[in-house]
């Protein structure tokens, strides 16, 4: 029987399925394994079902047992895995695309609403029990007729655009390439980020993590935005240079920031915690029972397909 290491605790239905299929080494205490633990625990395994928090770098992969032939990442992203080194060692890496699109798009809209309508400040006022209504109390920004810039018009970006249109927002986007008219659905294409940022009253970051997108929001590019723009990120934390962003918030160059992801999770930059105009969530993009179940099922499907055929539809390397 094949043996698979599961690095984090999954929902019960997924763990039951795993145990029926293979000799599953479950993480019942949901411990975050160190790289050395991951290497040791997977020593006699044929595959690893990993999570986005597992750092599976070149050194780790090179120390994995030769028995490990697949790393099935429980995420649409795979920046936590050195896929080139995995390929050299004849380990395939897979991800879970499509299934988390709608859940993540919902969180992207929550970030936009929370930042624009000063939700963090409002919650604080309610908890202090000392707020009084007035005509100018917690005046925020209305989404209707505002220009939403979408950085990365893939599945999630398009799902955000669809939802944003229902709020009366005007959609602009930048992508590696222009989409066909059906996928654009009336959105305006910009062939560079300066052009997109310059018209973005609100920016939603939905692009994949690459060397090109790391720190794409920085001191220089923040100057491209209209005064008082809003920036939200539901993609990956390293898209934003924290020092530059905190300074832009302090200087009111940027009106508000919405984050579901950030550098060094869960240790967020302290500067964000001191700013009232930052709306923060603890990486909830895919956090619905429906989506997390579907993600785990797809991660399991990837392993099952590989064990049966030696190939996998969702291979990323």
User: What residues contact residue 106 under an 8 Å CB cut-off, 6+ apart?
Assistant: 163
Tokens of residue 46, six digits: 């044929």
Q: Is 265 a catalytic residue?
A: yes
DSSP assignments along 231-287, one per residue: EEE-S-GGGB-HHHHHHHHHTTSEEEEEES--TTTTS--HHHHT-TTEEE-SS-TT-
Nearest Cα neighbor of 154 from 238, 221, 219, 95 is 95
- Catalytic choice (236, 292, 304, 305): 236
Tokens of residue 268, six digits: 């967020």
Alpha-carbon dihedral of residues 172, 175, 178, 181, nearest 10 degrees?
A: -50
Q: Is 144 a catalytic residue?
A: no
User: Exposure of 221 by Cβ count < 10 A (0-12 exposed, 13-18 middle, 19+ buried)?
Assistant: middle
Nearest Cα neighbor of 58 from 25, 91, 27, 32 is 91
Q: Is 172 a catalytic residue?
A: no
| 189 neighbors 254 (Cβ within 8 angstroms) | no
Longest dimension (CA), the chain: 68
Nearest Cα neighbor of 77 from 60, 94, 58 is 94
| 188 neighbors 173 (Cβ within 8 angstroms) | yes
CA distances for 254 relative to 14, 116, 122, 298, angstroms: 42, 11, 19, 39
Residues assigned a catalytic role:
236, 265, 283
């Amino acid at each position: 029987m094949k043996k698979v290491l599961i690095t984090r605790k999954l929902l019960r239905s997924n763990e039951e399925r795993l145990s029926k299929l293979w000799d599953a080494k479950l993480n019942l205490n949901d411990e975050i394994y160190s790289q050395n633990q991951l290497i040791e625990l997977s020593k006699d395994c044929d595959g690893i079902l990993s999570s986005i928090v597992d750092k599976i770098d070149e050194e780790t992969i090179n120390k994995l047992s030769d028995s490990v032939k697949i790393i099935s990442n429980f995420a649409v992203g795979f920046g936590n895995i050195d896929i080139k080194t995995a390929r050299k060692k004849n380990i395939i890496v897979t991800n879970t695309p499509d299934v988390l699109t709608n859940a993540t798009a919902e969180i992207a809209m929550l970030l936009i609403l929370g930042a624009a309508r000063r939700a963090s400040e409002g919650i604080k006022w309610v908890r202090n029990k000392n707020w009084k209504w007035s005509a100018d109390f917690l005046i925020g920004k209305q989404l209707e007729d505002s220009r939403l810039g979408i950085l990365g018009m893939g599945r999630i970006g398009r799902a955000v655009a669809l939802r944003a249109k229902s709020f009366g927002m005007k959609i602009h986007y930048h992508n590696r390439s222009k989409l066909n008219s059906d996928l654009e659905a009336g959105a305006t294409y910009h062939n560079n980020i300066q052009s997109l940022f310059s018209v973005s009253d609100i920016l939603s970051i939905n692009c994949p993590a690459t060397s090109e997108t790391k720190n794409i929001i920085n001191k220089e590019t923040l100057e491209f935005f209209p005064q008082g723009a809003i920036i939200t990120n539901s993609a990956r934390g390293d898209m934003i240079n924290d020092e530059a962003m905190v300074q832009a918030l302090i200087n009111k160059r940027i009106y508000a920031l919405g984050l579901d992801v950030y550098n060094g999770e869960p240790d967020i930059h302290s500067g964000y915690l001191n700013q009232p105009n930052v709306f923060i969530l603890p990486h909830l993009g895919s956090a619905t029972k429906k989506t997390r179940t579907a993600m785990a099922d797809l991660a399991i499907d990837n392993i099952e397909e590989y064990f049966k055929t030696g190939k996998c539809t969702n291979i990323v390397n």
